[in-house]
């Protein structure tokens, strides 16, 4: 049961557009930033940090111009540093750039660690205190609110606690509305973060927050503990994007605090958006969503072992810490070599109602899946192949064609590219007629794809809609060398959906062929069920 202390008001401060954009491999365009900002506002973030406006950063400068025209409930924060050593604060171009954004909140970082003062920005300890105080004071006169990020605070406190506290007091004396303690290197464990936070909370009356990086894997846990202890401001990013190992993941922090500790951070409707918002940001950032992220990952509520699946079907909380619908996620029963009848039954219920665990169809599918997995098949990403198997067993689909044979011819001329030619023999189920076609391609799979389309498209015109989106090959056991089995996974789509199909063989061409045929077969099955 959450205490009154644990239910104090907490500001959610998102820095995906700035700190998240600093992650390796991430480069958000202006349009990306504006779209993500819209999603963050819809999700209920209280503060959205847009970036670092300065004379050389045209994207972030333009962001603040454009975002003012958008009707956000969230407060927009402009990020920057204290003034430079030796500069007058009113003449410092970075100070002026912050004020020039016209947004209500400025967030600036300053040096808390004496090592950084003397060896990174090369100034004196006293001058650093002046820089902090002058910068905060100047911004507070020209903007509504100032958040002071005490960079490297925890490391600075460990090295020189007296001086680190002086830097905070310089910001407080300048009029800072919030002091945010930063573990910029992300190396502290939770007990150390909490101990230092408590010491600072006893000495600083201004609102306190935390900004923690995840280099020791503790960012979310430490952030949550500081909030439970009394922090009124927590910073992080969507999906934990950020420098090196990333920032504290707000997609974990928000559900933890709201569901587990009773904090009123966002509405229940917004909490249900958490999974879709996480995926949305990942897609715009051009990253692959981490399927194992707590709460929002595809695997967060997946059940593979037969005992787990059986337990969840009987009593949800036996193997799930929350109902996935609370955060907009879905329960999955994964088909695998560990699957039991309960898993198969859950899958089959989508195709036929009223099945019982002892139904012969359930046992037939289970036996076939286990036999195929023993040969190297996996169906987690091959939903198309799995559904074909199920519907055939249930008598809901009959193959409209059969491939009787195929042949591949490869050649390469000196100075030219390798070429492939595929010849196939296909028998149509409806009239028993054979089609014999051939086609060339830049590779054997491409040639087979073209030849099969030629054989089918006259009688099955919807085949033209199928697009092959991805092709992956995995060697299953390299110890057998060139005799090793390979598994080929093909992802296909049409105008309405996408699906995965799989093939396994010691011959990579045959494995590809099996996955390719299943891809077209799935499309025809899908059409027949409309």
What is the pLDDT averaged over residues 233-262? 98
Closest among 116, 138, 146, 140 to 128, alpha carbons compared: 116
Domain holding 329, by residue range, is 302-351
For the chain, percent of residues with pLDDT exceeding 90: 67
The pTM of this model reads 0.70
pLDDT in tens, 194-203: 999 999 999 9
CA distance 120 to 85: 12
In a domain, 514, yes or no: no
What is the pLDDT averaged over residues 5-15? 87
CA distance 492 to 487: 16
In a domain, 294, yes or no: no
335 and 232 inside one domain: no
CA distance 158 to 233: 22
CA distance 65 to 75: 14
State which of 284, 310, 337 marks the end of a domain.
284
Closest among 384, 377, 388 to 505, alpha carbons compared: 377
306 and 345 inside one domain: yes
CA distance 104 to 77: 7
CA distance 121 to 123: 6
DSSP character string of 453-482: HHHHTTT-GGGGG-EEEEEEEEES-GGGGG
Does pLDDT of 101 surpass 80?
Answer: yes
Q: Which two tokens stand for residue 317?
A: 């909380």
pLDDT in tens, 279-331: 889 878 878 778 899 999 988 887 766 666 566 666 667 778 999 999 998 77
- Please give the backbone phi and psi of residue 139, each rounded to the nearest 5 degrees, phi first: -70, -35
CA distance 489 to 492: 10
Q: What is the largest CA-CA distance in the chain?
A: 91
In a domain, 194, yes or no: yes
Does pLDDT of 254 surpass 70?
Answer: yes
- From residue 236, alpha-carbon distances to 2, 177, 247, 278, 280 in Å are 23, 19, 6, 13, 17
Q: How many domains does the chain have?
A: 2
CA distance 273 to 199: 37
Does pLDDT of 86 surpass 70?
Answer: yes
Mean of the per-residue pLDDT values for the chain?
Answer: 90
Top-confidence residue, 475 or 33: 33
Q: Which two tokens stand for residue 443?
A: 């590779």
185 and 327 inside one domain: no
Strands (E), 66-203: 75-81, 105-111, 145-151, 178-183
Packing angle between helix 274-284 and helix 30-43, nearest 10 degrees? 170
pLDDT confidence band for 342 (50 / 70 / 90): low
CA count, 13 A, side-chain hemisphere, 295: 27
The reported pLDDT for the residue numbered 205 is 96
In a domain, 381, yes or no: no
pLDDT in tens, 118-128: 999 999 999 99
Residues in the chain: 530
Q: Which two tokens stand for residue 344?
A: 């198969």
191 and 269 inside one domain: yes
In a domain, 442, yes or no: no
Centroid of chain to Cα 441: 36
123 and 19 inside one domain: yes
CA count, 13 A, side-chain hemisphere, 226: 36
In a domain, 233, yes or no: yes
CATH number for the domain that contains residue 17: 3.20.20.70
pLDDT in tens, 438-462: 999 888 999 999 999 999 988 899 9
For the chain, percent of residues with pLDDT exceeding 70: 93
37 and 142 inside one domain: yes
Q: In what order do the strands lie in the sheet with 498-505?
A: 467-475, 486-493, 498-505
CA distance 428 to 451: 15
Phi-psi category of 527—alpha, beta or left, where left has phi over 0 and alpha has psi -120 to 50? alpha
CA distance 475 to 473: 7
268 and 346 inside one domain: no
Burial class of residue 73 in the structure, from the number of CB atoms within 10 Å of its CB (0-12 exposed, 13-18 middle, 19+ buried): exposed
Closest among 249, 250, 63, 233 to 148, alpha carbons compared: 233
CA distance 508 to 474: 10
Q: In what order do the strands lie in the sheet with 434-441?
A: 401-412, 418-428, 434-441
In a domain, 523, yes or no: no
State which of 284, 317, 342 marks the end of a domain.
284
CA distance 189 to 197: 12
145 and 33 inside one domain: yes
pLDDT in tens, 460-483: 999 999 998 888 888 887 556 667
State which of 229, 253, 284 marks the end of a domain.
284
Closest among 288, 280, 180 to 238, alpha carbons compared: 280
Which alpha helices (H) appear in 338-486, and where do they start and end? 341-348, 360-374, 383-393, 444-456
Does pLDDT of 505 surpass 70?
Answer: yes
Centroid of chain to Cα 273: 14
The reported pLDDT for the residue numbered 343 is 62
Does pLDDT of 209 surpass 90?
Answer: yes
89 and 131 inside one domain: yes
Map tokens 């023993």 to a residue.
374
- 401 bridge partner residues: 428
Q: State whether residue 307 is helix, strand or coil.
A: helix
256 and 115 inside one domain: yes
CA distance 252 to 278: 10
271 and 316 inside one domain: no
Closest among 293, 231, 237, 295 to 263, alpha carbons compared: 231
CA distance 49 to 209: 15
CA distance 68 to 65: 6
CA distance 401 to 428: 4
200 and 267 inside one domain: yes
The reported pLDDT for the residue numbered 1 is 40
pLDDT confidence band for 259 (50 / 70 / 90): very high
47-49/11-14 β-pairing: parallel
CA distance 243 to 21: 8
Packing angle between helix 125-142 and helix 161-174, nearest 10 degrees? 30
Which residues are within 8 A (CB) of 25 and not within 5 positions of it... i.e. 6 or more apart?
286, 287
The reported pLDDT for the residue numbered 376 is 87
pLDDT in tens, 387-429: 999 999 888 999 999 989 999 998 877 777 888 999 999 998 8
In a domain, 457, yes or no: no
Q: Which two tokens stand for residue 74?
A: 């969230």
């Amino acid at each position: 049961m959450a205490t009154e202390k644990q239910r104090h008001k907490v500001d959610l401060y998102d820095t995906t557009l700035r700190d998240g954009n600093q992650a390796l491999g991430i480069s958000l365009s202006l349009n990306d930033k504006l779209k993500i900002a819209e999603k963050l506002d819809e999700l209920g973030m209280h503060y959205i940090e847009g970036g670092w406006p300065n004379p050389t950063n045209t994207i972030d400068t333009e962001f603040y111009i454009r975002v003012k025209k958008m009707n956000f409930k969230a407060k927009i924060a402009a990020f920057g540093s204290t003034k430079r050593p030796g500069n007058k604060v009113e003449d410092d171009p970075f100070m002026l750039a912050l004020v020039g954004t016209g947004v209500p909140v400025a967030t600036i970082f300053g040096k808390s660690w004496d090592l950084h003062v003397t060896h990174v920005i090369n100034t004196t300890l006293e001058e650093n205190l002046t820089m902090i105080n002058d910068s905060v004071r100047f911004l507070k006169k020209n903007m509504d609110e100032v958040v002071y990020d005490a960079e490297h605070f925890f490391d600075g406190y460990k090295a020189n606690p007296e001086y680190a506290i002086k830097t905070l007091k310089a910001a407080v004396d300048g009029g800072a509305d919030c002091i945010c303690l930063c573990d910029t290197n992300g190396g502290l464990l939770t007990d150390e973060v909490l101990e230092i936070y408590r010491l600072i909370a006893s000495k600083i009356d201004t609102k306190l927050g935390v900004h923690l990086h995840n280099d020791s894997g503790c960012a979310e846990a430490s952030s949550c503990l500081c909030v439970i202890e009394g922090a009124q401001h927590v910073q992080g990013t969507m999906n934990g994007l950020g420098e090196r190992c990333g920032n504290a993941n707000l997609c974990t922090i928000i559900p933890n605090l709201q569901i587990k500790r009773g904090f009123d951070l966002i509405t229940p409707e917004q909490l249900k958006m958490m999974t879709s918002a996480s995926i949305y940001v990942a897609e715009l950032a051009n990253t692959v969503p981490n399927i194992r992220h707590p709460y929002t990952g595809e695997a967060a509520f997946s059940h593979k072992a037969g005992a787990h699946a059986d337990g969840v079907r009987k009593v949800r909380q036996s193997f799930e810490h929350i109902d996935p619908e609370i955060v907009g996620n879905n329960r999955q029963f994964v088909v695998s070599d560990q699957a039991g009848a309960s898993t198969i039954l859950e899958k089959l219920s989508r195709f036929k109602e009223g099945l019982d665990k002892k139904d012969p169809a359930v046992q037939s599918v289970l036996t076939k899946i286990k036999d195929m997995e023993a040969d190297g098949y996996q169906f987690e990403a091959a939903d198309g192949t799995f559904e074909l198997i199920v519907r055939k067993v249930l008598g809901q689909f009959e193959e409209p064609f059969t491939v009787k044979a195929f042949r591949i011819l490869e050649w390469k001329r000196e100075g030219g590219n390798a070429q492939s030619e595929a010849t196939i023999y296909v028998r149509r189920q409806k009239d028993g007629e054979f089609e014999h076609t051939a086609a060339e391609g830049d590779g054997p799979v491409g040639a087979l794809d073209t030849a099969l389309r030629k054989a089918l498209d006259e009688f099955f015109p919807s085949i033209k809609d199928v697009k092959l989106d991805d092709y992956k090959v995995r060697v299953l056991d390299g110890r057998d060398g060139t005799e090793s089995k390979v598994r080929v996974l093909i992802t296909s789509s049409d105008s309405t959906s996408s699906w995965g199909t799989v093939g396994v063989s010691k011959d990579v061409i045959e494995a590809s062929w099996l996955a390719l045929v299943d891809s077209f077969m799935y499309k025809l099955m899908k059409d027949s069920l409309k």
